[in-house]
């Protein structure tokens, strides 16, 4: 396993990490979650990602039970959660979501209880909240740090301007700004990581824990000939994702990319994940997996990383046509 420093912090994250979003949503008992987490940990994965909204709090509970059972040394792994969406679904009341001091403080406390830990290493604002002043967010996250409930705070899917504002507010108050951002990053979605955040990487030096490196599985090629039964896109409640992701235009490019992967002698998922890791601004790619075989395959991405040369990147850009084009006047 390779470990990367999270931005300007001293924290080291494994370049491949493990998240529980849809993965844990499908389990009725902890057995497979435990096996997947143990497989990841044994391979050197040290970062496990979660959020209050995943399975309406159940995902944190499941991970908490597994962590308690496996009883790893708490200092050997990094644990995260995120607040914003709340965990009460449609029934949520006004202060049971968002980034107000009230919700952040309460949500953090609830996450600690569900995960059965004394602190979170990383705590994210899962989305920006236009109804809360950034100063309130910065002050609250710093209170949580001072209380020892979280070690670092971060953002997820914030714009570059919002992140910079948080840094400037924090600096003015002598407080800590966000040290990590969690954006989507994969061969279909590159703008934020490669263009929008460039000034942040250059000037502030944030880490990134990128999500959906396989675009929810599209970049494995498994949807090239239809929707396999039991796959994420076949699940009830994820129609929105299927409609957005399983479209002919994308699949044609995935098929061409698969041919290129064959030419290189590697699998499509490992090529797609290794491509993400070839961006030096990626601290870790968070993997999702519902089967041990998927994890076994995806963990090989680090072996493929040395193959991602400038020429290979050019070939991938030509196939995918998703390299951001920046027009500066």
| Residue found under tokens 């529980």 | 20
Q: Shortest distance, CB of residue 58 to ligand NDP, whole angstroms?
A: 14
Look at the alpha carbons of 192, 198, 204, 205 in this order and tell me if their dihedral is positive or negative.
positive
Q: What is the CA radius of gyration of the chain?
A: 19
Residue 284 host element (H or E): strand 284-287
* CA nearest to 149, candidates 175, 180, 176, 112: 112
99 near ligand NDP (CB under 6 A): no
Contact stretch for ligand NDP (CB under 6 A) within 83-91, 197-205, 213-221, 305-313: 213-221
Do the Cβ atoms of 33 and 27 come closer than 8 Å? yes
The pair of three-digit structure tokens given for residue 19, joined into one six-digit string: 């998240």
Query: How many Cα neighbours within 13 Å face the side chain of 173?
Result: 19
154 near ligand NDP (CB under 6 A): no
Query: Please, which residues have CB within 8 angstroms of residue 154's CB and are 6 or more apart in sequence?
Result: 122, 123, 124, 125, 178, 179, 180, 181, 182, 206, 207, 209
Q: Shortest distance, CB of residue 320 to ligand NDP, whole angstroms?
A: 15
Binding residues for ligand NDP, rule CB under 6 A, total 29
Nearest CB to ligand NDP, comparing residues 9 and 156: 156
Q: Shortest distance, CB of residue 327 to ligand NDP, whole angstroms?
A: 28
Q: Of these residues, 3, 41, 54, 197, which one is catalytic?
A: 54
55 near ligand NDP (CB under 6 A): no
Q: What are phi and psi of 153, to 5 degrees?
A: -120, 155
- β-bridge mates for residue 150, sequence order: 120
Using the rule CB under 6 A, which residue among 14, 23, 33, 284 binds ligand NDP? 23
The pair of three-digit structure tokens given for residue 95, joined into one six-digit string: 């202060």
Nearest CB to ligand NDP, comparing residues 179 and 182: 182
Nearest CB to ligand NDP, comparing residues 22 and 115: 22
212 near ligand NDP (CB under 6 A): yes
20 near ligand NDP (CB under 6 A): yes
27 near ligand NDP (CB under 6 A): no
Residue 54 falls in the annotated catalytic set: yes
How many distinct helices (H) and strands (E) make up the chain? 14, 10
- β-bridge mates for residue 16, sequence order: 285
Contact stretch for ligand NDP (CB under 6 A) within 60-68, 167-175, 207-215, 276-284: 207-215
Site string for ligand NDP, 285-304 (x = CB under 6 A): -xxxxx---x--xx------
Q: Footprint of ligand NDP on residues 170-189 (CB under 6 A)?
A: 182
- β-bridge mates for residue 12, sequence order: 5
Using the rule CB under 6 A, which residue among 149, 192, 232, 300 binds ligand NDP? 232
49 near ligand NDP (CB under 6 A): yes
Q: Shortest distance, CB of residue 184 to ligand NDP, whole angstroms?
A: 7
Q: Shortest distance, CB of residue 131 to ligand NDP, whole angstroms?
A: 19
Pairing of strands 12-14, 3-5: antiparallel
Do the Cβ atoms of 198 and 182 come closer than 8 Å? no
Interface residue list for ligand NDP (CB under 6 A): 19-23, 49, 156-157, 182, 211-217, 220, 222, 231-232, 269, 286-290, 294, 297-298
| Catalytic positions, written as ranges | 54
């Amino acid at each position: 396993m390779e470990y990367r420093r999270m931005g300007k912090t001293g924290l080291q994250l494994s370049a491949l990490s493990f998240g529980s979003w849809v993965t844990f949503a499908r389990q009725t008992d902890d057995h497979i979650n435990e096996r997947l987490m143990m497989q990841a940990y044994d391979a050197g994965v040290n970062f496990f990602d979660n959020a209050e909204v995943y399975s309406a709090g159940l995902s944190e509970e499941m991970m908490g039970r597994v962590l308690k059972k496996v009883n790893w040394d708490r200092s050997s792994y990094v644990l995260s959660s995120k607040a914003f969406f709340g965990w009460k679904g449609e029934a949520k009341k006004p202060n049971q979501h968002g980034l107000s001091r009230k919700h952040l403080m309460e949500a953090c406390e609830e996450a600690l209880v569900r995960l059965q830990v004394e602190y979170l290493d990383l705590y994210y604002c899962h989305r920006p909240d236009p109804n809360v002043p950034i100063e309130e967010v910065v002050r609250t996250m710093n209170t949580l740090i001072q209380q020892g409930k979280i070690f670092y705070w971060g953002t997820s899917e914030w714009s570059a301007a919002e992140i910079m504002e948080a840094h400037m507010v924090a600096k003015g108050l002598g407080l800590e700004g966000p040290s990590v951002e969690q954006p989507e990053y994969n061969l279909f979605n590159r703008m934020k990581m490669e263009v929008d955040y460039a000034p942040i990487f250059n000037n502030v030096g944030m880490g990134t824990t990128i999500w959906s490196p396989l675009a929810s599985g599209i970049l494995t090629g498994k949807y090239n000939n239809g929707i396999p039964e039991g796959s994420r896109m076949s699940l009830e409640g994820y129609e929105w994702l299927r409609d957005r992701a399983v479209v002919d235009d994308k699949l044609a490019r995935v098929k061409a990319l698969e041919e290129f992967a064959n030419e290189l002698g590697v699998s499509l998922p490992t090529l797609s994940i290794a491509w993400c890791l070839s961006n030096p601004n990626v601290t870790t790619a968070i993997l999702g997996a519902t089967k041990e075989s998927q994890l076994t395959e995806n963990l090989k991405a680090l072996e493929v990383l040395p193959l991602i040369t400038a020429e290979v990147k050019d070939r991938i850009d030509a196939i995918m046509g998703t390299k951001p084009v920046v027009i500066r006047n």
